[in-house]
Amino acid sequence: MDQRTENTASMDDPQVKAKSATHRERELRLALVCYGGVSLAVYMHGITKEILKLVRASRACQDASMRSDGTACSYEEAGAKKPDEVDSERIYFDMLCHIKEQVDLRVVVDVLAGASAGGINAVMLARALAYDLSLDEHRDLWLNLADVSELLEPKGRAKLWSKPYMRWFFWGLTQWHKNREEALGALGRNREVLEKLSLFTRSKWFEPPFSGTRMSEMMLDAVTKMGKVGNNPSSLLPKGQVLDLLVTATDFWGHREAIMLHDPPIIDEREHRHILQFSYVQKADGSIKSQLGDDDQASLAFAARATSCFPGAFPPARLAEMDEVVARRKVDWQGRSAFVSENFAALIDAGEDPEEAAFIDGSVLMNKPISLAIEAVQSKAAHREVDRRLVYIEPNPEVKRSFEREVPGFFKTVKGAMSDIPRNQPIRDDLEFLADFNSHVRTQRQVIHAVRPTVMRMITELMGDRLDAAPDVGRLITWRGTANECAARDASYAYDGYARIKVLSVLSDVAGRLQQCARLRDRLESEAAVDAWAWRVGVRPVGNASDQAMRSEGVAWIHFLRRFDIRYRVRRLRFVIRRINELYGELTADSKGGIRLARAWLNSLKSSLYQQIDDLRNRATWPRCPDRVKEEAIEELLESMALKMGLVDADIGVDQLLAHAGEHCPDKTLWREIVIAYLGFAYYDVLIFPMTQWKTLDELDEIKVDRISVNDANTLRKGSSREILKGVELGNFGAFFSRQFRENDYLWGRLTGAERLVDILASAAPEAVQSGDFNVLESKKRLFLAILDAEAPHLTKLRAQIKSLKVEAEAL
């Protein structure tokens, strides 16, 4: 089927759905960042499990219909897929249904960035979200296997009489209660901890005590036990929405990166930071592009192993280790070659062999990968009014402590310089960037609102009565060209600067794509090649842009933009989508055809426009050449890529889509507003694009930041991570020495996650809280009780604690 026909087919369907009648639609978009924390991975698993349950409940709420008596159906009646044990999902579902009385809120996770222990949880949650898979098997994995006795390297494991003097030391601690507590504090109250500490300290020294192979096996088991994707996979992601997973690792040997200076022109440095990237998207036609599927299970397990390779505790992770594991398990690692070529391209381009690379813990250089999440958000589009959040899980936050600032000793100084201080990576710079970005977004919005009356007047005067003419493709093509020329004329000298910035921006984009496509050495080589080509063919310099835009034909830089400027097309479509989102709130009961029909038309048009954005992204993907392209062949390559992208045809496709939509519009006023936004964007872009610093977000949405930690969740029991979690002991290794500790942290992960997610929902739908449709405290109480009831049979070491917590929850 032709792309344009397929994109507009839904406009003819009288059964197009509009699930909300008069209230607003809103999408709560979460970019999740998971910090490192060693054994606090168990705690973070509890949190990510709650996030999965909330997203699953949100999906069910979207699909739910009303009973015949007009009441809301239950979670089970909604027909939700139930791969996990059902407990807190029911409460989230009820919460969202009550919120829906005021605002139709959908929760989507589209970015996950993780380091170390957080990286493991990010990997597992990403696959679960992509294919609606289960995380229940991971409870037993964490509680049973995340134990020092399971992780120790068999060859170095202590035997009965290994280091007998250490055995006598720990035996003494187990006999004298007072000495135990004085020496080890809370750890001394747990006999299992002392026994495991004895085993650990008597095992082989000066070699990694934990087994890398065993860890690889555990990570592969964790991925495979989530279940198979199958031939008809479901997903918790909306169609067309990309899920990005970014996991940090540290390349021990590093690879060469070139840096441009004044003198000398180029220097080299070694880059040790390494990002392992995966993604998932189900396109509008139902096809799936994924690196989280069954063929990628070993790739995901390797990412989890590499990011959590704590220096000194585990041997460095190498691809050969995973090869041995999958060979022994008789697992077919079908996605290996694609994984290596996509995730180790920088090493390959630098002349390094990925097979020789050795990776240690991602938290060594990037323990708090907030910047990765911020960068990933830049390509995200919202299907509704969006409330964008960056949510970071901090298992052990810094608390205000008083201590004497004496001169640190030798060992304390070395330990602090080599481990503690680098891992205590501040996030202030990232948060200040977001504050500046949000301020920039507000400024852009103010500019748009300020100039909108003028732009509407200019477009109305330009088009006149033609705006009331029947929708027609030919007219739209002509109107679009006229609007572009008039924008250049009316902007006058301001257009000259705008055109130059736009040309340089697109040349930069082309250089980035060319580097990967042509296998050039680095970005500097690519930029030099593109710049030389631009001067050779006349794209540079840009002359009198405002005058040249009026005659357009035969002007090299205009011809270049028509063939290569994908970002302009995407910005224009997103601008129209933003106007659609505003129109939802402007619909009134006397809208011709009724609110429901108008919303259905807007929904269908918006979905089709997103399909066009998806099509543009596909056009922007340049295939990687099998060999390095020589300088003399670059011009021919650029010409072939321009033909492949076919952006002029894409423009006509959008014109056809809009004309077709106009024929089926229930209210011509809506159609008029869409056309004004589409044509008027040429005016807006002259003002806005120079403000965006080229590569700032095309979406004009602020990003709010929320934290999930025990310190922020004190409804059920007050206290900090130091007071509530057990894994914080022994430098965050504590939970590896006691099942009771792991049960405690896992339970508090679920309770913490549930409370903070309710807080986030309340802030995303304040109208539902104000109206009384959403009772925050009652929702938390129900969640606490549901989680405690569900986990009681599994957490046998916490029976007394769970009983006590139930009493406290009932009293809320």
What is the bridge-based pairing of β-strands 385-393 and 703-708? parallel
Q: Is the dihedral of CA 375, 380, 385, 390 positive or negative?
A: negative
Known catalytic residue at 361: yes
Q: Where are the alpha helices (DSSP H) in 163-280?
A: 164-175, 177-184, 191-202, 212-224
Confirm if 129 and 109 have CB atoms less than 8 A apart.
yes
Of 104, 147, 251, 361, which is the active-site residue? 361
Confirm if 757 and 51 have CB atoms less than 8 A apart.
yes
Confirm if 289 and 281 have CB atoms less than 8 A apart.
yes
Nearest alpha carbon to residue 126 among 236, 287, 239, 249: 236
Torsion angle of C-alpha atoms 83, 84, 88, 90, degrees rounded to 10: 30
Q: Is omega for the bond preceding 623 within 30 degrees of 0, making it cis?
A: no
Angle (CA) 42 44 49, round 5°: 100
Q: Which helix (H) or strand (E) holds 633?
A: none
Amino acid at 698: D
Of 10, 58, 116, 604, which is the active-site residue? 116
- The distance of Cα 712 from the centroid of its chain, to the nearest Å, equals 23
Known catalytic residue at 698: no
Distances (CA, A) of 725 to 65, 733, 807: 41, 12, 20
The pair of structure tokens assigned to 181 is 């507590």
* Beta carbons within 8 Å of 18's beta carbon, 6+ residues apart: 596, 597, 599, 600, 603
The pair of structure tokens assigned to 341 is 């070529």
In whole angstroms, give the CA distance from residue 85 to residue 790.
9
Q: Burial level of 398, CB count in 10 A (0-12/13-18/19+)?
A: exposed
Q: Active-site residue numbers? A: 116, 361
